[in-house]
Amino acid sequence: SWCMFVAALVHYMLWRHEAYGVVAFLSGWTIFTSLGGFGQEQASYLDWTSFGLMVVLSFSWFYFSQRLPSLLFSWLFLFFSGLSLFLLVSYDGFLWPIWTLFLLVPVLWLVREESNRRIVEMVYLVVAAISSIIYLSVRAESNVVLPSVTEAVLLAIVSTGLGIFLYQKRRGLLFIVPLGFVGVLWIDEQAILLAILFELSALLYLLYRERRHAVVWPAFLYFILVQIAIYVIYAWDRLNMSLFFLIGALLIFLLSGVLWWLRRKGGVAS
């Protein structure tokens, strides 16, 4: 896998053909899957040398490619390299995906073209959205031990600082910030506080996209997924599914009406 991965990257750098980028992604992906032993501390590739090599290669690929889909492929490899780092140091916490996502924020400014930067930004938001639903589901359906109070508070402080920075530089990326409060809200055994946090985040993201006259279907999709997660967690045995989806449909209809009214008030055709 390593030989194929390196060879494909060398060919990509020489010829700049995205077919080599796809081959590099597929061969490198096997390093992070069961074929490469991902998730096993005994895996042969999980040593500092291999970790450093993966980070250097992925970062170089990201920085020098400046083209899609290689930007997305290399970013994903950087993200999974961050996850493997916490396996390498035998970190027992469960907030490591959030730390990794936050640490990769500066990488966004290495993308030169604004159009590509917006697409890479969406990857951050997608990863944050998936993580939020997973954290909400795991907290409500399992008895995972509480995180370290020190780590939870530190992550919340870092998240606040990151939020201030993103508010000034890249407001669209602000919606990854709520993840930083997962640790301090984990104390709620029923996950109600997490549900409120992600419900509000989904609604605000939907309104944000509407006010910018951007495509709103990703925001609607995330909002719907949050509703489904909340139903499965809290109402599966208490509320008839058809009634739940009827309420959800009415809620979405109401939101659609509000967004239509805001767009019409702003003078934009629906």
The pLDDT score that the predictor gives to residue 70 is: 92
The pLDDT score that the predictor gives to residue 212 is: 81
Residues 245 and 232: beta-carbon distance below 8 Å:
no
- The per-residue pLDDT for range 52-75, each reduced to its tens digit, is 889 999 999 999 999 899 999 999
The pLDDT score that the predictor gives to residue 45 is: 52
The pLDDT score that the predictor gives to residue 178 is: 95
Residues of the chain with pLDDT under 70: 34-46, 141-144, 235-250, 252-253, 255-260, 262-270
The pTM (predicted TM-score) of the whole model is 0.84
Quick one: tokens of 139? 């907290």
The pLDDT score that the predictor gives to residue 213 is: 76
- The per-residue pLDDT for range 73-118, each reduced to its tens digit, is 999 999 999 888 887 887 778 899 999 999 999 999 999 999 999 9
